[in-house]
Amino acid sequence: MTNIVLPFNLKEQIHQRLDIFEGLLPELKRILFELWEEDLEIQFKSSELDLVTKADHLSEQTIIHFLQSRFPMDHILSEETGKKEPIVKQIPSINLEPSEFTWCIDPLDGTVNYSHHIPLFSISVGILYNEIPVGGLVYLPYFNDIYRAVYNDGAYKNHKRIHVSETNELKKSLIVTGFPYNRLEIIDRLTSTFKNVLEHCRGIRRTGSAALDLCWVAEGRFDAHYEWNLSPWDTAAGIIILKEAGGIAVNERGEEYKPGDSLLIATNRNIHSEFVKLILEN
């Protein structure tokens, strides 16, 4: 982690926020399941590959309203509406300073899966302190699984501790990846890297949810994950869950990954050097 002075009661503050947020999960599950059977009113953003549905919007609106009512001093960064300043800055009569916390929200990670009735989608909420991931929660409504981590306090799935795999050979490693919406612009890089990984590893999978990918590396289902052009809300929660489970993540320069970097390479640590070299060869 970048050298930064963290509050002495950081764990307490993050756990409190995540505990309160967990209370919203049943409502978010209800919303997504009800809308699943309706007209999703699918629209396109950057391309016909980049979908947004009314489920994305309603889930996001519900989360933002919930957070603003309970944590008016915190910042919010969300996929569909972007940055939102703390409520305290919008009300001059409130003489309080904004906090250093930012909620980084993906209200529906895996929208394409969701729109095709594939149950691999999630709600991803990361908490940043001065832009550093310090807490995260990823919820899979269909499976009712909650992945959660707080800086320096371990990673958990449904309140049970999780750890990355112990695989230490590339040829025995199962890798997961994803393809960015601008895939045609970097198609040669994607295909050459894919070929390189297939030649050296046991296999490759694609779930369609980066948050889910990081959680499944964190609990040892996958041994590594790589992907280009992920947004901060895709990884803010998953990265802290991965690290607290014993994993490691770097960017295209081999430096510690930060949400928003152009390339994410995340591993179980044992195969890290070899796998990073394998990806960066291309």
Q: Quick one: 132 and 236 in the same domain?
A: no
More confident residue, 42 or 218: 218
Based on the fold, state whether residues 18 and 154 are members of the same structural domain. Answer: yes
* Cα 30–Cα 176–Cα 151 angle in degrees, nearest 5: 65
Q: How many domains does the chain divide into?
A: 2
pLDDT in tens, 233-269: 999 999 999 999 999 999 999 999 999 999 999 999 9
Residue finishing a domain among 142, 161, 180: 161
Distance CA 239, CA 252 (A): 16
Which of 161, 183, 206 is a domain's end point? 161
The CA distance from 122 to 63, in Å, is 14
Confidence of residue 6 (pLDDT cuts 50, 70, 90): confident
Same domain, yes or no, for 251 and 187? yes
CATH assignment of the domain containing 78: 3.30.540.10
pTM for the structure as a whole? 0.92
State how far Cα 212 lies from the chain centre.
Answer: 7
- Separation between Cα atoms, residue 176 and residue 128, nearest integer Å: 25
- pLDDT for res 84: 83
User: Directed axis angle between helix 10-22 and helix 54-70, to 10°?
Assistant: 130
3 located within any domain: no
- Provide the pairing of β-strand 145-150 with 132-140: antiparallel
| Residues 110 and 175 reside in one and the same domain | no
Question: Do 239 and 174 share a domain, yes or no?
Answer: yes
30 and 67 together in one domain: yes
Among candidates 27, 12, 111, 100, which has minimal Cα distance to 66? 27
Q: Which domain holds residue 230?
A: 170-280
Residue type, 143: F
Q: CATH number of the domain that 251 lies in?
A: 3.40.190.80
Cβ-contact 107, 59 below 8 angstroms: yes
Residues 17 and 137 occupy one common structural domain: yes
Dihedrals φ, ψ of 244, to 5°? -70, -15
Q: Does 4 have pLDDT greater than 80?
A: no
**Has residue 4 been placed in a domain?**
no
d(Cα 179, Cα 181) in Å, to the nearest integer? 7
| Within a domain: 231 | yes
Does residue 157 form part of some domain? Answer: yes
Boundary-marking domain end, from 131, 161, 191? 161
CA distance 8 to 50: 41
Q: Is residue 89 part of a domain?
A: yes
Beta strands in 29-131 (DSSP E): 43-44, 51-52, 75-78, 82-84, 101-109, 122-129
Contacts of 175 (CB under 8 A, 6+ apart): 197, 201, 202, 203, 204, 205, 222, 223, 224, 225, 226, 275
Q: Is 191 a member of any domain?
A: yes
pLDDT attached to residue 82: 79
Within this chain, do residues 91 and 53 fall inside the same structural domain, yes or no? yes
103 and 141 fall within a common domain = yes
User: Does 156 lie in the same domain as 67?
Assistant: yes
Q: Considering the domain boundaries, does residue 251 fall inside one?
A: yes
Identify whether residues 98 and 226 lie together within a single domain: no
Residue reference for tokens 């690290």: 243
In a domain, 186, yes or no: yes
pLDDT for 94 equals 58
At residue 48, the pLDDT reads 54
90 with 125, same domain: the answer is yes
Percentage of the chain beyond pLDDT 70 is 90
